[in-house]
Structure 1
């Protein structure tokens, strides 16, 4: 019989003392058995040996158990300490969460409530008993949606609110406001934790919402007062309707324009009340009547802007109806009677003036859409202003020319001379302004032809020699027989302005003018030893009325010369260059193409004025001028020259006078614009059709190529305003055809 395994008789869970007692009892039993049993095969001894070995094993196991028991005691002690710390931390966390002013709840990664504080459910008392660990998030949302403390948005069911709330829960971070009953508000903030849980914080923002509402109300009140003040101070009558076509705002000007007492306007009054008044006393212009306006008002959101006119007695009103973002609309009424009266007056202007105004209006309309055309419009304005000044300037020059200087006292003669010089300066400025206007408006007609440079440079040398010598400058104009392609008149004007500019601003030294060959081109250069131009100012000097700090006086120029040079070069296609160094001088360069040296070249116009050669005698001049001042001034000047003068203010009056007296004058002096009747050229054609090719000149401020071509075709001498008295006297000296009309 095999001895049972001693280890199987021990219970590992027994204390070591109990296990030791069992082992001793087993050992004693085995010892007794060994002592009593005898067998021939030595079984007893073997059992003794096994007992001894078993005792050693028991002792070893007992020591292991003791050590394990010590470790277990230490582990239990540490576990107890950890449990105490965990419990303390839990209590601290719960206390800390409880002290938070906001409601706090923590849902685990499994969407189950882990913990929350008492403030989490304080705003919904019917949820407090259910807010316990183990509550799922879906149950929480369901109970919130059914709470009697939740104020659902208008038209939304609890089910729809719950679906929308769960949809927001899918985002990692969510912040939104929830409205409760009794006008209270909660701000809900959701944030995901690192392990996938959810923290929900509820903040009572009722006071903030109410404060914002009060501030918004005060702001709206302030805006309403500002809008009211604005409406009361604008010239238009304004009425405002809400989305249901009810009157919500108006100003006093509305009642004045529509002749409706303000007592008729009340908050909430429908548009029908306004339309009844409009139907009875106002005539509609651009629309079929009040019905169309009412239909537009009823058409609802998406209305197009509506513009129409009304007429109430002598008043003409422009009405504009426009929809507002909230579905309402506003109607404004503007008194446009003065504008319509002005249009009616403009319609009475003569055809020429009407065409000019139409042209300017079209140009101005184009200028509003294009910055470059705006510059052209400004240039046309300058041209018109210059043109309007030519009439009184012509009269002034003629009055001054009619004064016999030799018969005046020296002081008076000096004053007359200075006045004539001042008028000449004004004439020069106006000529520059007209050039600028032509160049900028694009109406400049250039005629590039082969031109010999010496025929332009030689007269300029003579013209500026005296002026340069008076300032102590050395003027050198190098001769050149080169032929270039350009417009001779504007090429001369370009060089004239460049040389005048160099002489004007150079204090000492020299001015050099010459031509250089550069490949297949000719480069004209005007060099001076003046003050020079800084690099940052080199673009500005080509602007109108811009002058750098220089000793030149206002009487020497208005800063238009270089502006004309730049624009004329651009119109002719001549590249313009500038090299300058401050303190050492400047060099302006104009590059021109070479012309055919075998072609006939055109001489630039020579500005030398003819000497008056009019001889006294019994000669008659007929003056037709509709401006009384200018007619009187020219009459004085012609009589000073010894002519008998017949004058008329219109073409019809002149024809009647000639038929009455039966005498054909030696020459006709006719203004082009004679008012509403015939023009000057039309009058001369009638006269020549009746009496043949009588000598005639046309006096005009119009510088158009078309008019010049008509004068050449009709063989009529043309004099531009302001009139050059010496040129006119020279022309009159050659006209001697006095005869009697048969």
Structure 2
């Protein structure tokens, strides 16, 4: 109820005074109401008022108690605030860095005694409420602030206030007496700014000492480097004063000692060189002066100086980033003299070459005419000699049909052999003469290799047997496009040459299809041909062992010229002591290519397994015999072996690597099919292989795939085996025509195509 007498907003003291006045007024009225002249109603009113006064007095007492409690809490809070402020002040004083706090209005509210310790004139001018802009101005006016050359105090104030706009900033302020402080500003969430000042003098001095030490070491290294180069080098600073030079420069000009002192102006050095005529005639001095006095971003300068004694110097000048420049001088005297001498010799040599060329052209014309006459004579003489030689052979044939005693028969055979040798030599000379005079002409046509190879086998088998050699001619059904006469002559010479230079072993002749070509190969186990002799053997009248072998050395010369005439590439590979192989690449006939591309009828289809060379490696004789019988029934040509040694022996005796290997995994004496195939491939190349095993474990399948082998488990699926074998030759023929697409697993050719990538 007392709120009706007291307006809101009064302090406790004002409420107390107001209530005391009300009480006094009520007591006065109560006393006046007790006089006899007052009516009885007023007495009742006074009693009611007294009751109200008691109530208000009680309320006032309660309010005063609450006021005392609030005052006590306020006093306690003030004491705590004072203690906290004192603790913060002590903490700030304990900091090694100077610290100051500016509020959101950039007014200084708190700082410690180390703040602006490096600027003692500011300490008595710093006080609470100092604005940040005034603080920066005071710092800029302090004589203890040491700004670098070229920076004014007004510029420093501008940059300082600009950095203050950022939330976080760190920079170093240089002071007098080589003192340095780092200033860090941190913007607080309340909008105020905390400024920290750290003395970094020791760190800056240490860093500067290290940098100077490094620069000294670099300068020594640069000086040592410059003293060991052939060019004379001089370096000048931004004020065109000498900053360094090397020994070569001093040896070039031999200037007075005082001119080579560090700091000597470039003008003084130039005047000395000009006075002593070290720069030669012309405007070299003026050009250098204009360049040195030009802008700092001047382009490089290059001049040639010719001194009075004939020395030629190349001068190069280059501006440096610090506005200085460097000059280098190179002595070109020897080089120019060498070039002049070279020009003179070149002119003399050209004249001699022209004269010699005319002589050689004249000699070449004479040699060509003489060679043509010789070749025509040899061709004519050889042809004329072959006619009576043929007649003599006919007479010998008639004589052989008559009854002769054994002595006469032996004599007749020797005469026939001698005539055969003469006929062979004359034929070779005739072939060479045709190539020399350009009379050789090729008439390409489809040629079946089978009959040709059969005739060669019949012709050379007796010769090979006489020398104790084995001649192996592999059958072939290929049809090539070539000249029948020259192709036969090439093979004859290669086979004859192989037999002649093979002392023991065998000679192998075979044909391999390679895409749209056939590679005719002649292998021997002879002495081999050294690397440095492999180009000489194709020259006319050249033999490796002229004292031990017969013949005139024309065979390989004819082979080379005939293969060039036919356009059939000829290759030679040889290992001394092991043997030699000659390879002639002949294109397939269009008839053969068409036959390969067109599907064959049921009666004319060629069995793809015919003559397929299959090596069977199986340790069980019964299983091996059964596999051999199946393969032979399919038309293949199988070889059998029980282990690696037997397989190697079979292939070595045959002289030809198998087309495919069928290997059992579990072999005798700890051998296994994967390792055996790997060793065979190491000797004879990437031969396709199928691993046959009764082991169905996935690990073995992964091993076989990693080794590039197809896996078939026992019992062997014979249809699948036959389909796979049928693809071997087809993939070998189409290897060159592969489109490059990656092989897909599941295809029978997957493991075969991997070997060719």
- With a CA cutoff of 8 Å and minimum separation of 6, indicate the structure with the bigger relative contact order: 1
Normalised TM-score (structure 1): 0.48
